[in-house]
Amino acid sequence: MAKTLWISDIQSGSFTGEVIELQGWIKRHRSSGKIIFMTIRDSTGEIQCVAKKADMNEENFDSLKNALIESSVKLTGLVKSDDRAPGGHELTISAGLIIGAVNAQNPFPITESAMEQTEGGETEFLLDNRHLYLRTSRMTTMLKIRSTIFGSIHEYFRKRDFIEYQAPSFVAGAVEGGSTLFEVPYFGRKAYLTQSWQLYAEAAMPALERLYTIAPSFRAEKSRTRRHLTEFWHAEMEIAWGGNEEVMEHGEALVRSIAKTILNERSDELESLGRDLNLISRYADSPYPRMRYDEAVETLQGMGVEIEWGQDLDYSKEKVLTKDFDVPHFLTHYPKIAKPFYHRPDPDDEKYVLCHDLLAPEGYGEIIGGGERTWSEKEILERIDEEGTPREPYEFYIDIRRYGGVPHGGFGMGVERVCSWLSGADHIREVIPFPRDSRRVTP
Ligand code: 4AD
Ligand code: MG
């Protein structure tokens, strides 16, 4: 029995001259009467395969000859080294079996030329066929980078003794304001889908002191933009006995370690997307400057952008601001009126809160939002009342302050925002298998 190999193993050159078995899908197929050229792909790569009528059982040759793109196959063949072949190797097929045949009445709808025309800017057609688009090389590459980024986040926190901790997805109150809450019927009552793990993490802060999660968060974002999903993966952390500075240091170190990891593990994939590796290595190595909100507003006004003090920065403004950044920048000290109740007012000037957003360069904008929490009972009640928020859903949150409150803080990082920026994607949809926005819950 010939050994079954991954394509990446065949392309490594260690099996040249051996007869091996390969299982995969037909990516390209062209034939004349006596010879078939196929490109076979699996999750690890692609390889060119040649079948000659003269070398094979005739029935077997004919079935391969009639096989359509995206049929799954098992092939037996001889590995040859060939400089002209992509990857440097080619398979001369001696036998082949079609496992899952594609029917001629129903050919694979996504043709390579359609793909090339829409590279990056996915059309509605490709979104409707997302379940099939996943197997194209651009999407495969994005999903591999995404997986490495998830792994890198877990590694960062676990190496530093953070405890992974889970919060409920059904909740009774808002974290990030009411306008983006998803309401769900809940046995005669109203519940909401969580916008953030934070409040429930704060409850465990006196128990575990350093916690993190990676979980879905939900925001009813009506507008469709290049950086908003209604369901996104949220990496969040919370630490006891820490303030805004310490939380920012973790945010910076985390993002740098993600950049380092993908540079080490996914440089081929990044290059295949046309990403400049020098940029990624700068994001891994250079320090991230800090800038106060007021300074950012002045900079924007100096650039002729219309913005009033007290407004949160929306995407259009962050885009202008970050276009010429060479590395991510922290924006700190936002006005209290621009941020939710849990942010701690700055004792030096109560108009501001001790918070930060990390803005990615190249026009990508916010990837992290975080800061120090209001941690005394008196202050949190003042902030809740000042905002006009009902106290009732937050009683558990206020209790945390009643029983041994300590200074603490944390941040949330949008994982798709980071994937999108580091891979140079045109749209956040490109980096999640089944994107959800206001118009789409299918497939
Ligand atoms: O800035 P946000 O709203 O902050 C919070 O949710 C805090 N409670 C987090 C915390 O301190 N634990 O969201 C955090 C990050 C943003 O910086 C952004 O990267 C991402 O979550 N994000 C989204 N990503 C994709 N689509 C959306 N609709 C997003 N909304 C926020
Ligand atoms: Mg934010």
Centre of ligand 2 to C-alpha 443, Å, is 29
> How do residues 177-225 score in pLDDT, each as one tens digit?
888 999 999 999 999 999 999 999 999 999 999 999 999 999 999 988 9
Residue type at 3? Answer: K
For ligand 1, atom 17: residue with the closest CA? 368
Ligand nearest the Cα of residue 220 is 1
Residue 417: nearest ligand to its CA? 1
Domains in the chain (CATH in brackets) are 3-100 (2.40.50.140), 132-431 (3.30.930.10)
Pocket test for ligand 1, best of 417, 421, 422 (most atoms within 8 A of CB): 417
- Atom number, ligand 1, closest to the C-alpha of residue 371: 11
Report, as ranges of residue numbers, the positions in the chain whose pLDDT lies below 50: none
Smallest CA separation from ligand 1 atom 22, residue: 414
Ligand 1 atom with least separation from CA of 358 = 17
Probe target for ligand 1 pocket from 165, 181, 196, with the most ligand atoms within 8 Å of CB: 196
Rounded CA gap, 366 and 322, in Å?
A: 9
Q: Which ligand is nearest to the CA of 360?
A: 1
pLDDT score, position 113: 73
Residue 122: predicted pLDDT: 63
Q: Taking Cα atoms as reference points, which of 6, 7, 48, 53 lies closest to residue 29?
A: 48
**31 contacts 69 by C-beta, under 8 angstroms:** no
Cβ-Cβ contacts under 8 Å for 205 (sequence gap 6 or more): 211, 238, 239, 240, 400, 406, 408
User: What is the chain's percent helix, strand, coil content, to nearest 5?
Assistant: 35, 30, 35
Q: Are 338 and 352 in contact (CB under 8 A)?
A: no
Of all ligands present, the nearest one to the C-alpha of 218 is 1
Structure tokens at 260: 């380092």
Give the CA distances from residue 177 to residues 206, 307, 351, in Å, rounded to whole numbers and listed in that order: 25, 21, 19
Q: What pLDDT shows up at residue 259?
A: 98
CB 383 within 8 Å of CB 373: no
In the chain, the percentage of residues whose pLDDT exceeds 70 is: 98
**H/E element holding 62?**
helix 58-65
* Tens digits of residue pLDDT in 263-277: 999 999 999 999 999
Q: How far is the CA of 332 from the centre of ligand 2 (A)?
A: 12
Residue nearest to atom 6 of ligand 1 (CA): 196
CA of 359 to the centre of ligand 2 (A): 10
The residue whose CB lies within 8 Å of the most ligand 1 atoms, and thus the one to mutate among 205, 219, 237, is 219
Atom 29, ligand 1: which residue's CA is nearest? 228
* Closest Cα to atom 3 of ligand 1: 176
Ligand 1 pocket test target in 225, 331, 366 with most atoms within 8 Å of CB: 366
How far is the centre of ligand 2, averaged over its atoms, from the C-alpha of 357 (Å)? 7
395 phi/psi in degrees, rounded to 5: -55, -40
Element (H, E) at 156: helix 137-159
Long-range contacts of 223-226 (CB under 8 A, 24+ apart): 223/438, 224/437, 224/438, 224/439, 225/315, 226/315, 226/426, 226/427, 226/428
Protein residue whose Cα sits closest to atom 9 of ligand 1: 412
Measured from the CA of 197, which atom of ligand 1 is nearest? 12
Cβ–Cβ < 8 Å for 232, 217: yes
List, chain by chain if needed, residues with CB within 6 Å of any ligand 1 atom: 175-176, 195-196, 198, 219, 221, 228-229, 232, 234, 236, 366-370, 410-414, 416-417
The answer to whether 70 and 25 have CB atoms below 8 angstroms apart is yes
* C-alpha angle 173-336-401 in degrees, rounded to nearest 5: 50
Rounded CA separation 142/121 (Å): 14
Calpha distance 443→434 (Å, rounded): 7
Q: What is the best residue among 193, 232, 314 to mutate for testing ligand 1's pocket, by most ligand atoms within 8 Å of CB? A: 232
**How far, in Å, is the centroid of ligand 2 from the Cα of 174?**
14
Q: What was the pLDDT predicted at 202?
A: 98
